[in-house]
Every structure is written in C-alpha cells, then in structure tokens.
Chain A
C-alpha cells in the first residue's frame, strides 16, 4: 500500500487529538429530570473522588468514535492510498516473433527490442513461449523467471529465409498455448479452468498469409503488434508524429511522417479528431514514394478530443485489418502534476484560481523547502494539482509552464536576476506536451513551441552509491535530442534521476520528468512517451568499493577485470542484463543489473531521412498496458474512504441517540407541563 500524498498523513498527529480534546471540552450536555438527586449525588461524589485520584479520563462515546473514524477516513482519503493488487498468478503468453527475411537489419532489431520490452512486462511466475517465424522454432518455453535463458535465446535470433507460410507457425503457437495452459493449470489447480494466455504476434509487416492464417484460428484472440503492409507486400507505416500549436488561432499543427518501401497506389493518410470530431483531413500518398512528411493544421481543434492518424490502404487483409487501422492516437492526458513556480505573482495566482478546486498554492515556503536541490535556485511557491486535469487545462510538463482552463496558457519565464517570473505569453492550448525545456541547466534554451531544441545536458558518467548486496536496475535511458537521462529503479522503488549540470551531481529527489515517476510507479514501466525516446544503454557507472584489489565484472557477454581508482570502480557496459561484480578475494560481491524495457530508438536515430531502411515500427498499440495495470497497478481507495467518511458524517448528523434524548425530554415536558430547566442548571 502506498500513498500519493503521504504528507497528509501528518494530520493524524493533529486532528484526532484535537477531536478528543474538543470532545472532552465540549461534550454534549444533557439535562435529565429526576425525582430526587439522592441517588445521583452519590454517583457524582464517587466520580469526583475518582477524578482526583487520576487524570481526567476521556469520555468515550459512540459519537467520538464515529468522529474519529470519519476523520481517519478523510485523512486517508486525502492521502490518496493505493493498494497494490497482488499479482495474478499464472499468466501466460505465446509470442510469435516475425524473423522473416524481410525483417533483416534494423526492423528485426526493433522487433527484438520490442519483444524484450513485452516480456519485461510479465512476472517471474508467468509462462512464456517464444516462437520464431517463419521456421516455427520454439526459442523458449518456460517461466519468465528464467530470464537470462530467455534473453540469451532472444539475442541469438537472426532472421531466416524460409518462405512466407504462417499456418504451421500459428499451429505451433496453438500447440504451445495448450502446453502453457496445462502448466498454468498445474500451478493454479483445477479450480481455475481458464488461465489467461495471450497470443501475440510481433510482425514487421502484415502479409496476407498471416491474415488468412489468423482467420483460420478465429477461436483464439490474437494481438498483432507491428508495422502494416499493403496488399502487394509493400511495407507502410506511420513512423512518427509530432504536434505543435498555432498560438494565434488555436489550431493544432500536426507533424506526421510516413515511411514505407513503396506506397501502394491509392494509399491515403487520414487525420481526424476523435471521438466524434468534426475535423478530418485526407492526404493522398504518392505511389512508389518511400517516405513522406506532412505538416498538417487542424483548424479550431477541440482540445478535448484526441487525434487519430491512420492509413487507408487499398485492398483488404481480412477482418479487422486494412483500411482505417489505427496507427497512432493522441489521447488527452489526465494526470496529476506538481508544479513549482518561482513567485506567487498576483497574475499567476489568478490563473491558478481559474483551475478551481483541487489546485493548491503554497506560497509560504520555509527556507529549506524553497531550496530546489536540482537547480540550486530558490522557489517561492508550490502549486499542487490534486485532481485529474481536464484536457482544457492540461498542465504542461515543464514546471514553468502552466495552462489555465478554457485554453488560456500562461507561460512563465524566470528572470535571470532572480527577481521572480513574469508572464511571457498567452496562447491557446493543445495537449500532451512533453517537456521541451527543463530549464535545468545554464544552457536552457528559450522556450519555443514546436521547436526541436532541448536544453538538457546529460553526462556520460554519473555516481550512484550502492549499498552492499543492493541490486538496482537501469530500466531505460530517456534520450532527448541533446541528452539523455537514465531511469533507475532501486529496490522496486522508482527513482528518476535528472542530472543537474550546475551541481554536477545526481540529486536524490526526482527532478524534471516528475510525471514520468508517477507513470512508472503506476504501471511499473516507462510510458509510451518515454519509450519513444529510449535508446540503448551505454552508461558508465561509478561504484564505490572498499577493496582496492582487482574486481571482475561478469555479465551476459562480458567478463573483464576492473581496477578501482580512488575507491571507485568505473563500469561501462553496452548491453542489458544482470552483471555481477566480484572482488579478487571472492568475499565481496555485488550485483548490478542493466536492463532496458525497450530499445526503440528515436526517429532520428533510426535514420529516417537519411536514406536507410525506412520501414519503422512506430508506437506499439500498447499491448498489455491494461493487463499490467490490473496486475501490478494500484487500486485507488480514495473513493471507498470518502464513502466511509460520508457515511460517518451522515451518522453524526442524524444522531439517533439525540433523538431518543429529545423524545424523552418532550415526554417529560408534555406530561408534567413544566418548562425545561435552564441548561446551565
């Protein structure tokens, strides 16, 4: 169980004692008419005598208990508790990897990387079968816990030229599926007759043979990931899109790059708002062209809607494929951000207030709080958004960019002299803007929408202190155009490090891509936006060691000696995997794990526009995201707790006990005809 806002829990130190004090101080007074005080006087004397012997006891009543319970629920609800669901036992997947001759070269590397990323989403007890097409060889079959073996098998794969027959491959996949189900049933027991086994095809292209083979096995649901193919076998895919906005008219500029070995005749690119948007653009693709870059403008784009770009290709590949396949989509981003602003200027505060409830501004920060360890600068206020943002009020990822409701964007720019910020511009808002300017370093470039410039300088080596026997993983390296930053997971806890060139060190606290942290924490994986910019690990680690002797680094394909310099080992690897560091005495041993979720390189790295292999795997449709969410994601208990709080409040308001007391008093009054005594008695 974790909390999204753990500081709220500090209220437990304040509110319950306050409630008890208030209750004991202002306990409800009840006047009871009696025939004689003789019995009560003894009671009062007894209690008075006892209260002098010991401290005043806390009067326990059901109202106090309900109030305490309600308060606890409220505090817990405000702290946003997340229960991490226990992993579902025994999930399985049959993965068919297209290793045909057409994938030779870069596409196969991409497919392999994607396969690795896919397998990384499974857990150790899950059962996996990996089949290579087109020869139908079972590369691996077993639990994911045997990851080294699986990785070895995956790394050893090379494309083969064995024709284009998919039927026997899918038949093999079905056989493996049966085998996986058998093994899962053995694990789960007979009570679970239907263990989930996903059938996944990772294909570079989508040839008709695969389409027809899939149609034959329609009793099994398949997931197809990969590029798309036209009827005549040419590979076509949308490889990239970018978005920009026209700040004058509120239009969305969409940059779409389409690549293929040869566009078929009649191929069209369709860009449309969805769902139910009015804007729809169609652009024909020149036949035979290998790539095309389109900068389209969607006029008066409704930012609440997503954008879908798809290829309409002539011909059909069977049900579910062909025309109108979704290739990419833009979805409104609904996340919770924390934004730091440099000064609480009245103008900004007005903008903040426009967000309405759920946005808090703290402008009285202590000296310690105000010091930003990542940049060394001081900030004067914090803005915290504690609710999902609507698409109209998307908060830009950069901490210094804020988008107010109704499409007004407030940009703030730090004044170099430290005198605060000043509003820079007001523009209409698009959505889903990733950080383009972290403003972390001295070289921070001026903010420019649509500009392809980034200002993050990332060093090639960094220091990370390791405890003995501590295992950590470099999950991925986020690469920007001018730099990259590693995403590091330590002991299952996501820790995103951002380098501060001014400080020359890696801060312990997350810095600029803080929303990535949340994504990672939630899904246990780098989100799509991160995957797009992930590159191969080529990092050096400097590891402090006690022994000055020779250390040996043992990994999947490497075994080399290392000598510490000044108590530090400099380790550099170029491959994912788990490495072990052993000193010469054999007494000290550390495990270092380099692991990538994906090697999907950026467009630029893939060489689009440089005359290289053009077919490119774009964004995967996000296989398993929901599955991963359901397995390892967190269930938000806030709703339940708020419900419990409301129930408690209702109970306190109804006060059935007080009803009884009133009825009693009424009866005395009506029967005796006497006025009630003064409550002060």
Chain B
C-alpha cells in the first residue's frame, strides 16, 4: 500500500488505469442516459438527472413548480448537462496531507490527476490550483487532453508543507471572475474550528455565486481509527505537524472510542453543511481504491448514475 520513495507517483500503470477509467465513465454515462428525460439546452443536450432541495443561489428557472404545487416545498431539477462545464480543482497542500499510510498526499494527487483527466476527456476546461500557506496558487489551466501530461509534472513538483489557507483560497474563488464552474476541493478539512467555519462560509458563498461545489475529504486510516495501532496504556503526545503544537493524552482504555465520537461529529458537520447548501460531498480514506473513489465521487456529484 505504501509507495516507496523511489517509485514514481504517476507510473505507466496509473496512466493506463486512467484510460480505463475514462472508458468506464463513458460507458456508464452512455448506459445511464437511455430512457431519461432530455431537453435541448443552450450549449448542448441537457438531461434531467433528478431533484434536490432548493438553496439560495439556484437558478429560479430550474425550480420544479409542479412539485411545489404538490408538496409545498421548493425543489430544483438537476440536469445532466452534456455541455462543457469549466472545472476548478483546488488541492490542499498543507503538511497534514503528508500523513497516513499510504499518505493522503499521494492519494489526493492521484485523485486530482484522475479527475483532471476525466474533465479533459469530457472537453471541460480545467483550472488546477494548489491551496497552500499563501492561499490560492494557480498551477495550470488546461483545455485539451493532450495538455494533461503537463499537469502531472506540476503535481510532482508540489510541496506539501505548512498550513493551507483554505478560507482565503475559497474567498479568492468567490471574489474572482471565474464563470460558474464545478469547483472540486480535495482536502482533509483538518484545522481549527474557526478556520473550518470560515471555509464553510466561503464555500456557501461560492454556491451563492452559482458555482457547483464538490467536496472530497481525504483522511488516512490512522486518522479514522488511531486506537487500532496504539496501546491504551501508552501516554500519548499528539503533535500537530502544521502548527508544531503538541498535546498530552493521559493513558486510558476509552480514549479511542471517545476519539471516534468526536471524529464522527466533525465529519457529520461537513456532511450537514454540504447537504444544506447543495454541495457534493464524499469522504475517502487514503487506502481506498482510486477507481472506486472516482466512481463514487462522480455518482455522489450526480455526474454519473
């Protein structure tokens, strides 16, 4: 599972897996389109993919008024647009992403590469940016698939260190003149509560600006269940790799269970934020299979059925 340091991040095998993934997505998409309602929209064929609750910022034209007449609740119709939607991919490059076995960094980079590939394969212009200590830092803007290998070289050069200024990055996205896009944020969301709140507010603002927001939270197996590899009798010192702060945990037999309660609360908050504001959300562990994660993400995002 662990990638040796001398093993290339994007080896030939990975690239062929991406190609397979592309074909698989095309196949699923093609089979899912049969028998669904479709309408011709501006920019291409538009299929009704489903309904979801209305949130401020949604296009009023997409509100299903007949459903409102029946249920007295606002639902918007979601369309599977077969058009070229710009994609903005934000990758958290904080030091915390270096943790895990395998590391979240490797997993996030492969995931970003895979999503970039799929976006380009669908002829969607893709803007890739890293979120580091200085906030938003554009890496490359790609328009066609042949440009894809270039981004792999950029990914390899990325350094994961320090704290990622996610709030400012999201705020920059909101304030930018980037047209409505599919914004994919790959991060672990690990940070102080205040920072988390600012990130959430920024993402809500992005939604209000009409962006489609997809959150891909990546955690390591050790972060999900640290008690599996630690002895309850140990006197723990937890060390924050981003702030260099540390904390002593007194030994005891129940800390693992209590940690999981707090973790679940943390994850639940993000799930609620996403659900309440119409964002796509997917939690993945760094030891998950890439193909499965990508397919799950596409399904969770409504890009696939």
Question: A31-B237, A32-B237, A35-B241 in contact; A47/B255 too (CB < 8 A)?
Answer: yes
The 7 A-B residue pairs with the shortest CB-CB distance, nearest first, are: A61-B233, A35-B96, A59-B251, A681-B246, A35-B190, A36-B190, A672-B98
* A377 CB-CB contact with B under 8 Å: no
Within 8 A of B (CB), among A32-47: 32-44, 46-47
Within 8 A of A (CB), among B89-117: 94-101, 103, 105
* A60 CB-CB contact with B under 8 Å: yes
Which residues of B sit under 8 angstroms from A670, Cβ to Cβ? Answer: 5
Q: Which residues of A contact B (CB under 8 A)?
A: 23-24, 27-44, 46-48, 51, 56-57, 59-64, 657, 660-661, 664, 667-668, 670-672, 674, 677, 679, 681
In the bound complex, what is the Cα–Cα distance between A481 and B5 (angstroms)? 90
Question: A37-B245, A61-B251, A681-B246 in contact; A29/B235 too (CB < 8 A)?
Answer: yes
Task: For residue B234, give the distance in angstroms from its CB to the closest CB of chain A.
Answer: 4
Within 8 A of A (CB), among B78-96: 94-96
Task: For residue A676, give the distance in angstroms from its CB to the closest CB of chain B.
Answer: 9
In the bound complex, what is the Cα–Cα distance between A30 and B238 (angstroms)? 8
In the bound complex, what is the Cα–Cα distance between A262 and B202 (angstroms)? 123
SS of A interface (majority): helix
Which residues of A sit under 8 angstroms from B193, Cβ to Cβ? Answer: 38
Identify 5 residue pairs between A and B in the complex whose beta-carbon atoms are under 8 Å apart, listed by A's number. Answer: A24-B251, A32-B238, A38-B266, A672-B99, A681-B239
Which residues of A sit under 8 angstroms from B234, Cβ to Cβ? Answer: 27-30, 61
Which residues of B sit under 8 angstroms from A679, Cβ to Cβ? Answer: 237
Q: Which residues of B contact A (CB under 8 A)?
A: 2, 5, 94-101, 103, 105, 160, 188, 190-193, 196, 222-223, 226, 229-253, 255, 258-259, 262-263, 266
Are A667 and B188 within 8 A (Cβ)? Answer: no
What is the chain B residue whose CB lies nearest that of A30?
A: B234
Are A35 and B223 within 8 A (Cβ)? Answer: yes
In the bound complex, what is the Cα–Cα distance between A23 and B234 (angstroms)? 10
Question: A36-B191, A36-B192, A36-B242 in contact; A44/B247 too (CB < 8 A)?
Answer: yes
Are A661 and B233 within 8 A (Cβ)? Answer: no
In the bound complex, what is the Cα–Cα distance between A418 and B132 (angstroms)? 90
Are A34 and B255 within 8 A (Cβ)? Answer: no
Task: For residue B138, give the distance in angstroms from its CB to the closest CB of chain A.
Answer: 25
In the bound complex, what is the Cα–Cα distance between A428 and B287 (angstroms)? 77
What is the chain B residue whose CB lies nearest that of A59?
A: B251
In the bound complex, what is the Cα–Cα distance between A223 and B238 (angstroms)? 77
Are B95 and A672 within 8 A (Cβ)? Answer: yes
Task: For residue A276, give the distance in angstroms from its CB to the closest CB of chain B.
Answer: 57
Partner of B238, one of A37, A61, A671: A37
Are B239 and A677 within 8 A (Cβ)? Answer: yes
Task: For residue A64, give the distance in angstroms from its CB to the closest CB of chain B.
Answer: 6
Which residues of B sit under 8 angstroms from A57, Cβ to Cβ? Answer: 252
Question: A35-B99, A36-B192 in contact; A61/B237 too (CB < 8 A)?
Answer: no
Are B96 and A51 within 8 A (Cβ)? Answer: no
In the bound complex, what is the Cα–Cα distance between A667 and B242 (angstroms)? 17
Which residues of B sit under 8 angstroms from A674, Cβ to Cβ? Answer: 95, 98, 241
What is the chain A residue whose CB lies nearest that of B222?
A: A664
In the bound complex, what is the Cα–Cα distance between A395 and B248 (angstroms)? 59
Task: For residue B116, give the distance in angstroms from its CB to the closest CB of chain A.
Answer: 23
In the bound complex, what is the Cα–Cα distance between A29 and B246 (angstroms)? 13
Are B247 and A40 within 8 A (Cβ)? Answer: yes
Are B241 and A63 within 8 A (Cβ)? Answer: no
In the bound complex, what is the Cα–Cα distance between A44 and B97 (angstroms)? 23
Which residues of B sit under 8 angstroms from A60, Cβ to Cβ? Answer: 232-233, 253
Are A681 and B250 within 8 A (Cβ)? Answer: no
In the bound complex, what is the Cα–Cα distance between A51 and B252 (angstroms)? 11
Are A41 and B236 within 8 A (Cβ)? Answer: no
In the bound complex, what is the Cα–Cα distance between A195 and B252 (angstroms)? 58
In the bound complex, what is the Cα–Cα distance between A672 and B253 (angstroms)? 30
Which residues of A sit under 8 angstroms from B103, Cβ to Cβ? Answer: 671-672
Are B233 and A64 within 8 A (Cβ)? Answer: yes
What is the chain A residue whose CB lies nearest that of B235?
A: A27
What is the chain B residue whose CB lies nearest that of A681?
A: B246
In the bound complex, what is the Cα–Cα distance between A23 and B231 (angstroms)? 13
Which residues of A sit under 8 angstroms from B240, Cβ to Cβ? Answer: 34-37
Question: A44-B248, A47-B255, A681-B248 in contact; A672/B235 too (CB < 8 A)?
Answer: no
Partner of A30, one of B97, B160, B237: B237
What is the chain B residue whose CB lies nearest that of A62?
A: B231
Q: Which of A29, A37, A42, A670 gathers the greatest number of chain B CB atoms within 10 Å? A: A37
Partner of A47, one of B237, B243, B250: B250
Are A34 and B223 within 8 A (Cβ)? Answer: yes
In the bound complex, what is the Cα–Cα distance between A668 and B234 (angstroms)? 19
Task: For residue A533, give the distance in angstroms from its CB to the closest CB of chain B.
Answer: 61
Which residues of A sit under 8 angstroms from B230, Cβ to Cβ? Answer: 30, 32, 661
Which residues of B sit under 8 angstroms from A660, Cβ to Cβ? Answer: 229
Task: For residue A602, give the distance in angstroms from its CB to the closest CB of chain B.
Answer: 66
Besides the known contacts A37-B240, A681-B248, 6 further A-B residue pairs in the complex with CB atoms under 8 A apart: A28-B231, A30-B235, A32-B226, A35-B190, A36-B96, A39-B266
Are A62 and B99 within 8 A (Cβ)? Answer: no
Q: Which of B100, B192, B247 gathers the greatest number of chain A CB atoms within 10 Å? A: B247
